[in-house]
Chains A and B, each alone.
Chain A
């Protein structure tokens, strides 16, 4: 079996790109960085949009990155269902700004930057990103000031909600921490699975997500377009 190919998109200001690279490598992916001005077809099984402060988070979090050339390629990749997309933290914000996921992310109700490990309920384990999670609760780190998810109820279906906070840290709508799009090929979440995938960090729960992605991509269910 050929090894799965993953791309980590790097924007000016991304700072979790190396963690993403490390986490994917640890989980057996062949990983490449892709710079934000790349405008050709993305030929990968998985696209990882990492956290950070793309374009300094000026104007609004994630919005300036959404207009960079690589995002046109990402949109085509999603529409043609070429593989899976995961956006973490700032990556999640970029995906909502691009309209690839519903809702928006805004400032925490506490108006503070929150950095800690939190418990997350797995509310849908039937997605390509969660199929190998056999636990009800996993623990992942969060680190954000603009993590309050907001959406109108009509814009998000029940099965699109994947992760919920056990104790809502930021005031997110319905305790939502992570969602997928209707086609279930795009996943956005505020917690950082890539920061929890080795024993040295005392937390390996992030691997459940990478393992799920691997399992889906190597299953017969996945047909590459």
Chain B
């Protein structure tokens, strides 16, 4: 049986916590400095897009946050941020 549902789009940003060295950022910073750009710091983050099939936005956000917490980030090293991309959802049918 199929039921009505929607797809919600989320962007998960995973970033290294304050104080954790980011060698990739440091190397890039050095190059930018050498090119005389007025750069103060460079940090690399990961951006992950999730499409989640749920009944409503709140439930979808709960799923996105759980995935970000359990799988996408490592709490020892990283923080994450979950953002819903507004008006990004599409009408669809949830299959069996």
Contact = CB atoms under 8 A, between A and B. Distances in A.
Interface of A: 59-60, 63, 67, 96-97, 103-104, 106-111, 150-152, 171
Contacts of B27: 111
A107 B22 CA distance: 8
Nearest to B75: A104
Contacts of B24: 107, 111
A106 B20 contact: yes
Interface residues of B, number: 10
Interface of B: 20-21, 23-24, 27, 71-72, 74, 76-77
Contacts, number: 29
A109 B23 contact: yes
B71 A151 contact: no
Given A109-B21, A111-B27, A150-B20, A104 B71 contact: no
Contacts of A108: 23
Given A97-B74, A104-B74, 6 more contacts: A59-B72, A67-B71, A96-B76, A106-B20, A107-B23, A109-B23
Contacts of B20: 106, 150
Contacts of A63: 71, 74
A109 B22 CA distance: 8
23 contacts: A59-B72, A60-B74, A63-B74, A67-B71, A96-B76, A97-B74, A104-B76, A106-B20, A106-B77, A107-B23, A107-B24, A108-B23, A109-B21, A109-B23, A110-B23, A111-B24, A111-B27, A150-B20, A150-B76, A150-B77, A151-B76, A152-B76, A171-B21
